[in-house]
Amino acid sequence: MFLSRRSFLSGAAAAAWGAPSPWLLGANTAVQGYGLYPAIELVRQLEFPVIEIHPMGRPDPVPRTFPGFQFDRLDPAAKTKLRRALRPFRRITTHLPYTGLNWLSADADARAHAIRTIDIALEGSAYLGARVAVLHPQSVTNEPWERRESECVAAIQRWGEMAGKLGVRLAVETGWPPSIAAFVRLLEQVNHPAVGATIDVGHQGRYAELVAKVKTEDRAKPEAAAAYNDTTIEIIRKLGAKVVHLHVHDIDPATWVEHKPMVHGFVDYPRLFAALREVRYQGALVLEIGGDPERMPGYLREARDRFRGWLRT
């Protein structure tokens, strides 16, 4: 059920969680219309110890676009400048490219381009000292997932081997394939020590186990939110030690649109944190919040303070 506004704002339920959490809190530089360096500076000024950046896109500000970089297009001076800008952070993570890429494409050129793009981004992640690189599994919508599962497994194993040699942990993000069972099976089949999972609290809306319980027209009901939270908790428990990274934010209870500022109380964070403690989670909590660029500093500051209050109790 939804948290009451009072308990959500105060985090009072956190008092029963036990010792203060060792988890570090971070923020993503996905701020539409910002340039890369202003986005980095925003995260630094807000005193987040962890930053997540995008080795894709452009460093210059572009309306309605996240800032980033393409590692193979940076000259040595630009690479040094970027690495220096990231020095204030205790931990660096990256989100590998996904837009416009299909590394399971039947077109050989499209497939090769996608694979090379992710390879370069992974190399850039390592150069910058990233501990974790988030990978979106390639979605397959025009044929049964089972037909392409083995290809997906092989591709992730290859990147896992590459990441391991570079000293980076590859973290496959929830959302596809769209079921708890299929996602857990994917990680089990990959079975590589350098590969784990990123749990995004807003990526379970299409999961088969949840869709079977909640009709679209019932999404705004409190029991629908409870079922959504159940789904996230279940995948954490089934993955266990394979959970190595977390994306956190809020969700619109009426539409289930994710990456919202912390105003709805849809995600049951006290319960989520309890599940993370059960699996002895050691990763970071990285905010992925969208919205008006002018209001983003306030959104991130409010979310930072909310999570700081929870994590130090």
Q: The pTM is what?
A: 0.91
Task: State residue 235's pLDDT score.
Answer: 97
How far apart are the C-alpha atoms of 180 and 273, rounded to whole Å?
Answer: 19
Task: State residue 278's pLDDT score.
Answer: 96
Phi first, then psi, for residue 102 (nearest 5°) are -145, 95
Would you kindly state where each structural domain of the chain is located, as residue ranges? 5-311
- Summarised one tens digit per residue, pLDDT across range 2-13 is 444 333 333 333
How far apart are the C-alpha atoms of 46 and 254, rounded to whole Å?
Answer: 30
How far apart are the C-alpha atoms of 3 and 248, rounded to whole Å?
Answer: 16
Task: State residue 21's pLDDT score.
Answer: 61
Task: State residue 273's pLDDT score.
Answer: 95
How far apart are the C-alpha atoms of 50 and 89, rounded to whole Å?
Answer: 6
Residue spans of the chain under pLDDT 50: 1-20
Task: State residue 5's pLDDT score.
Answer: 39
Homologous superfamily of the 5-311 domain (CATH): Divalent-metal-dependent TIM barrel enzymes (3.20.20.150)
- Summarised one tens digit per residue, pLDDT across range 241-292 is 999 999 999 999 999 999 999 999 999 999 999 999 999 999 999 999 999 9
How far apart are the C-alpha atoms of 214 and 221, rounded to whole Å?
Answer: 9
Task: State residue 313's pLDDT score.
Answer: 62
Tokens 């959970």 appear where? 243
